[in-house]
Structure 1
Amino acid sequence: MSLDPTIIGTETPPVRLTVDAGRLRFFAKAIGETNPIFTDEKAAKAAGHDRLPVPPTFLFAIELEQPDSFAWLAKLGVDLRRILHGEQRFTYHSVAHAGDTVIARSRISDVYSRKGGALEFLVKDTAVTREDGSAVADLTSVIVIRRIGGGE
């Protein structure tokens, strides 16, 4: 089943996350980040932060904090066994820190196909803000869906 272009504009439920310092340290270690500002409070303060800053790619993981983070794709009829993470872009507006509560609001901004329908692409834009509405970052994620038989 091909993606219906009428899904463009569909929004997913917002995801709220209070950033935990321990979670930031774990994330930094998991991605191999060696800059101590992401793991050591003293180093963060020496660099001008009042708390641990959020590592650059951490914001991608906000939506993965939900119990069923891919339910929105399944709801669209996408076979989760056939998806690939195709691309991720970040535009930063400000630095989030441990203790901040951030909200991710996502919407599908495009769908298209290539290779005669064998590959479909779903583009999702996510705005991450603080509770007061101030912008933290804008994310664009491209999900590739592999179809059997060129677009069945």
Structure 2
Amino acid sequence: MSATVDASRVGSVFTGTPPFEVTRRDVVAFADAVGASSPVHRDIAEARAAGFADLVAPVTFAVVIAQEAEAEYIADPASGVDFSRVVHADETFTHCRPLVAGESVTTAVHVDSITSRGGLTLVTTRTEITDASGDAVASVVSTLAVRGADA
């Protein structure tokens, strides 16, 4: 794959990733991995008592969904992104509501900016996550630093 990221892809939107099914198992495993200790991540009765239909995913769980969706752009040979040269630079989350086990969500990955400096190309994507009704759930902005051939 080319070591040159194609800056003309700014403005592209990728929507080909199949819906993501949020499962109880995924929520519990992620909560364990990040040390999220709230009982709403593991105990259905606690989650329901807190007003949720099922287990609630930790706020950073949205990165799992975003990274799966971003793979569509990164794997596209036209992107010019050589993933073996990628270093994760930044991630921010904006939530409209919590993600809950049992729901299916869809994604749209927007290539918001591509800038080069000092042997690195910074690629910023924004993954919009929506529920089955089309309502916004979360937005994940991710910046990847792609090292050039000489870096």
Range into which the TM-score falls when normalised by the shorter chain: 0.7 to 0.9
Q: Structure 1 counterpart of 2:143, which letter?
A: V
Range with greater deviation from structure 2 (121-130 or 74-83): 74-83
Asked if the contact 2:66–2:127 (Cα under 8 Å) also holds between the matched residues in 1, the reply is no
Q: Rate the CA distance shift 1:120–1:65 in 2: closer, same or farther, 3 A.
A: closer
What is the TM-score when the length of structure 2 is the normalising length?
A: 0.87
Asked if the contact 1:51–1:97 (Cα under 8 Å) also holds between the matched residues in 2, the reply is yes
Unaligned 5+ segments in structure 2 are none
2:21 alignment partner in structure 1? 18
Asked if the contact 1:14–1:106 (Cα under 8 Å) also holds between the matched residues in 2, the reply is no
Distance 1:103 1:70 in 2: 14
1:101 alignment partner in structure 2? 104
Shift of 1:54: 1.9
Q: Rate the CA distance shift 1:9–1:57 in 2: closer, same or farther, 3 A.
A: same
2:6 alignment partner in structure 1? 4
Unaligned 5+ segments in structure 1 are none
Aligned length: 146
2:34 alignment partner in structure 1? 31
Asked if the contact 1:41–1:51 (Cα under 8 Å) also holds between the matched residues in 2, the reply is yes
Range with greater deviation from structure 2 (7-16 or 136-145): 7-16
1:121 alignment partner in structure 2? 122
Range with greater deviation from structure 2 (92-101 or 119-128): 92-101
Asked if the contact 2:115–2:121 (Cα under 8 Å) also holds between the matched residues in 1, the reply is yes
Distance 2:81 2:128 in 1: 23
Shift of 1:70: 3.2
For the residue of structure 2 that corresponds to 1:60, the secondary structure is helix
For the residue of structure 2 that corresponds to 1:70, the secondary structure is helix
Shift of 1:63: 4.4
Asked if the contact 1:15–1:63 (Cα under 8 Å) also holds between the matched residues in 2, the reply is no
Alignment of 1:39-118 (within 5 A): 39-65=42-68, 70=71, 72-74=73-75, 75=77, 76-115=79-118, 118=119
Q: Structure 1 counterpart of 2:44, which letter?
A: E
CA deviations over 1:1-57 (Å, ceiling 9, x no partner)? 432321101222244112111111111111111111111112212222221112101
Distance 2:18 2:145 in 1: 23
